[in-house]
Each structure stands twice: as structure tokens, then as C-alpha cells.
Chains A and B, each alone.
Chain A
Amino acid sequence: MLIEDNLIVEFKKVSKIYPPNIPALKDISFVITRGEFVFLTGPSGAGKTTLLKLLFRAETPSDGEIWVDGIEVSSISRGQLPFLRRKIGVVFQDFKLLQDRSVLENVGLSLEIMGYGKKQIEKRVKQILNAVGLKGKENVCVAQLSGGEQQRVSIARAVINRPSILLADEPTGNLDKQRTKEVIELLEELNAMGTTIILATHDESLFKNTHRRVLFLKNGRMEA
């Protein structure tokens, strides 16, 4: 169990070794409190993506414990996994959107799987699109949007069901400077509304002049 109620993530001596014997993470321990905005950084291959994957159980740790919002992630069954993932929003560098579908269909997917009706979905999607600066774009096909807009759609999908935590894996990796700034501002706004955010990036400029906590990974180890 988490010792303090305001802890939302806790890694306890977590290691991940990929077969045949490739270590990705070694003895990682840290905590994140509710409402925090944490940057996870390090060079390519340092283990940032692996760490995020462990959080939403796309991977399981070889050793150690991972707690997310009171749940020990590696011990949950396959049947419980979808319910864990509904608590975690994930944003990727390549957006992972259905290019042939509308913004409404993409963003509404997170609600559709939970059994929300069409009207409720439309209402919530409009609200969230307003919040991410995509007002009136609900019926536009995703393929017609710019990279920055697509990332906003991806963020909207990730947060529409109000997850406890948002994981962003290089969310600005495919964006220019201006779009990067817009996305970071959007994430700041979401954080201000109470969403815990873990942003993995190798771009130092994103956190250079910030007061946010930065977790640094190198060769699978966490450095101070």
C-alpha cells in the first residue's frame, strides 16, 4: 500500500530485463505525488519509454513493485488491466490516432468503450475540444489536421475520461517549436486542473527554465 494518500506513483526497486538478457531498467525507485508535473529525461535508449510502459502495464517488471493510484500494477489480472488503463491517459510521439476517422470518433473512443451514449460523448468531446483549442473541429477527419492539432486530439482522447495520471512519451517529438510550446502550455493547463503528468522527453529545452521536478535516466539507472 502507498504510505501517503497523496502519492500517485511509486517505484520500488524496479528492474526490467528484456530477453535474452538486455537490461533496460535497473533498481529504479522514486515517488510522484498527486498533481505533480514531472519530466522524465535522458538520452535515447536510457529507458524512458520502458518506464512509461511499465506504468500502464504494456510491460511487466522483471523485479520490484510499481504502484499507481493504489494499485500494484504488475500483480493485476488481464481482466483488471483495462480498468487500470482507464485511470491512465497516454500520449505518444506518433499520436496513435485513427487517421480515417473524425476527431469526434477518435476522442470519443475512450468514452465509447465505457458505454457512454452518443449524445453524452458528443457533449463531452465538444467540451474537451474547447479546452484543447480545437473548437468546431469535431467532424474533421484526423488526416486533415496538422501535427500540432493531431497531438491535441491525442491529448484530448487521453484526458476525456478524467484520468488520475497522464503519461506523455515524447509528445513534442514530431512538432515544430511553436506547436511544441502550445502542447506544453496545454499540458500545464491540464496539470493546473489537477491532472498528474509524467512527460518523457530528451529535449532539455522543455524543462530548462522550469521549476518542475526532473527525473534523469541514464543506461537504465536513475541519476540524481
Chain B
Amino acid sequence: MLFPIMIKRAIRDFRANLGIQLGTCFVIALSVLVVSFFSTLYVNFLNITEQLGTKLGIVVYIKSGNEDQVPQIYQKLSKLDGVLSVKYISPKDALKKLKRYFKDEPQILEGIKPSIFPPSFEVQVKQALLNPEKLAQIAKEISSWPLVEKVQYGRGWVQSLSGISKIVKLLLMISAIIVLLAMAFVVANTIKLTLYSRKNEIEILRLVGATSGFIRIPFMLETLAQSLIGCLIAFSIVYLGSFYFRNLISHNVILASIGFIFLPIKYTLIITSITIFVCLITTLFSINRALNL
């Protein structure tokens, strides 16, 4: 019975202090926008590095004369934990690849027979950049197999890209924390202003026997509304901006081939949840302090 009354009070107070409330929504939207922008950058950076990382797969050379073992080795490689795909490159395929590479100077490969190339496999590993240790572990395991001549992979590249990816992630987290703290500060100040403007009402409410919850909950509901409106504004801008940017890069062959990823729903939900949590905690803290509860 009391909760509908609290909701009505929250709506009435929201309308009565519309200026302050919308100001807070705007600040929350701005904060969420900054975090979302960096998150979108991060997921796209991750996408690019992943694409590169996948291309930087493991090449497994098989000892010559063991072509009959290819199906078994293929099966064994496919079953390895973390392996995304396995592709067999026969000596003939290897020569064809080389010919394509030297198509302007075919004389270089004159007289070369496919048999000089060892049979090989191209192994792609899942999320190689996020987990370079896994890539190294798989490479090490394969190299220990008796029929394997040699294992090659871009260790340096993978480690560099992985390092950059970690730095970007760290920067994103630091910026998110700073922005969220700034947001909490603004929300706390808004609550203080609102509490101050309604000091008289709160005093009367306490006097006539309103419980702490009855005073506190409408404020919490207002903050919840502010957070949701702020997130809605921010994500609308992010998604509209993303559409615009995707259209923009669709005209550029290189950028279009890389592709552009929208901020995933998972990220949207996480950012919204964190925003609501931070705003509610800040509000609760401010009210308790102001009311000396």
C-alpha cells in the first residue's frame, strides 16, 4: 500500500524539481556516453586484433614421406583444446601459393618440384591474442609430436598485439572508473541540493512519523529514473553514431573489410547496471548522511 504512494511522491518530486533532475540525467548521459565510446573503441580494437591474431596462426610442417598420416594428424590437431580451424596445405598447394606470390617473376620458380615442400597444416587458435600463453602451449605440444618437423607462429606479433590489447583494456577501465566517480560526485551533489530544497518537507515528514524508508525510497526511485533516462539518451547517441560511422566506412574498401562492431548488448547491460548501482549507492549514502539515519 505504501509503495504506490512512494512512486507517486517520486513522480511529483521529479516534476517539481524538473530542472535539477534533467541536469542530473544529462550528466549521467554524458558519463555513460564517454564510457560507451571507449567501450565501442575497445570492442572494435579487439575485433581488429583478433582478425590479425587469427591470421597469425600456427604453421605445422610434417616430416616428408608421411603424407599417408595426414588424416590422422588432421584429426589430432582438430581435437586440440582451443583450436578454431585446421587447414591442410599439400606440397602442391604450397607451390601454387608460392607461384601466386611470384606471379610477376615466374622464372624464379622454374624447375622447382612440389616434393621439395613438406606437407603442412595451418592451425588457427581461438582468441589467440587474449590468450597468447595458450597459443604457445599448443605450439609446444604440437612440436613434441614425432611426425612434426617444425612448428612456426608469430610469437613476437602475438605478444605485441596482446600487450597493446591489455593496455587498451586497462586504459578503458581507468577512464571508466574516473568517469563513474565524477558521475557519483555530481549525483551526490544533486541529491544534496534536492535534500536542501526539501529540508522543510523532510523535517515535517519525520515529525508526523514517516519511516526512513518512506523518506528514502522516493529519492531512490528518482535516482533510478535519472539513471535509466541518462543511459537511454547515451545509448541512443552511441547507436545512432555507430550507424552513421558504419555507413561512412562502408565506402572505404580497407575499413569496410575490417568491419565495424556496434557496442554489444552485453556491454550495454553491464554499463547500465554499473551506472544504476553507482547512482543508487551514492544517493543512499547522501540521504543517510543528510538525514543522519
Contact = CB atoms under 8 A, between A and B. Distances in A.
Interface of A: 56, 78-79, 82-86, 90, 96-98, 109-110, 112-115, 117, 157
Interface string B145-158: 00000000000000
B25 to A, nearest CB: 24
B132 to A, nearest CB: 56
B57 to A, nearest CB: 64
B1 interface: yes
B262 to A, nearest CB: 46
B73 to A, nearest CB: 72
Query: Counting chain A CB atoms within 10 Å of each CB, which of B200, B201, B204, B206 scores highest?
Result: B204
A201 to B, nearest CB: 20
A48 to B, nearest CB: 18
Contacts of B208: 85-86, 109-110, 113, 157
Interface stretch (B63-71, B107-115, B210-218, B272-280): B210-218
Contacts of A85: 206-209
Contacts of B211: 79, 82, 113
Contact of A115 (B5, B207, B212): B5
Chain B interface size, under 10 / 10 to 19 / 20 to 34 / 35 or more: 10 to 19
Given A79-B211, A98-B204, A113-B210, 20 more contacts: A78-B212, A79-B212, A82-B210, A83-B209, A85-B208, A86-B209, A96-B200, A96-B203, A96-B207, A97-B204, A98-B201, A109-B205, A113-B209, A113-B211, A113-B214, A114-B209, A115-B1, A115-B2, A115-B5, A157-B208
B293 A78 contact: yes
Most buried by B among A78, A84, A85, A112: A112
Contact of A110 (B1, B206, B209): B209
Contacts of A96: 200, 203-204, 207
Contacts of A90: 207
Nearest to A115: B1
Contacts of B204: 96-98, 109
A56 B207 CA distance: 8
Contacts of A79: 211-212
Pick from A78, A82, A115 the residue with the most CB of B within 10 Å.
A82
B234 to A, nearest CB: 34
Contacts, number: 45
Contacts of A113: 205, 208-211, 214
Interface in B192-206: 200-201, 203-206
Contacts of B1: 115, 117
Contact of B5 (A97, A112, A157): A112
A198 B209 CA distance: 19
A74 B146 CA distance: 85
Contacts of B209: 82-86, 110, 113-114
A96 B202 CA distance: 11
A78 B212 CA distance: 9
A85 B205 CA distance: 10
Nearest to A97: B204
Contacts of B206: 82, 85
Nearest to A154: B204
Contacts of A84: 209
B6 to A, nearest CB: 10
B2 A98 contact: no
A21 to B, nearest CB: 23
Q: Chain A CB within 10 Å — which of B2, B201, B209, B210 has the most?
A: B209
19 contacts: A56-B207, A78-B293, A79-B211, A79-B212, A82-B212, A83-B209, A85-B207, A85-B208, A90-B207, A96-B204, A97-B204, A98-B201, A98-B204, A113-B209, A113-B210, A113-B211, A114-B209, A115-B5, A157-B208
A62 B293 CA distance: 21
B250 to A, nearest CB: 56
Given A112-B5, A115-B1, A115-B2, A98 B200 contact: yes
A159 to B, nearest CB: 11
Nearest to A117: B1
A112 B211 CA distance: 12
Contacts of A112: 5
Nearest to B2: A115
Nearest to B5: A112
A114 B203 CA distance: 17
A75 B121 CA distance: 81
A198 to B, nearest CB: 16
Contacts of A114: 209
Interface string B101-144: 00000000000000000000000000000000000000000000
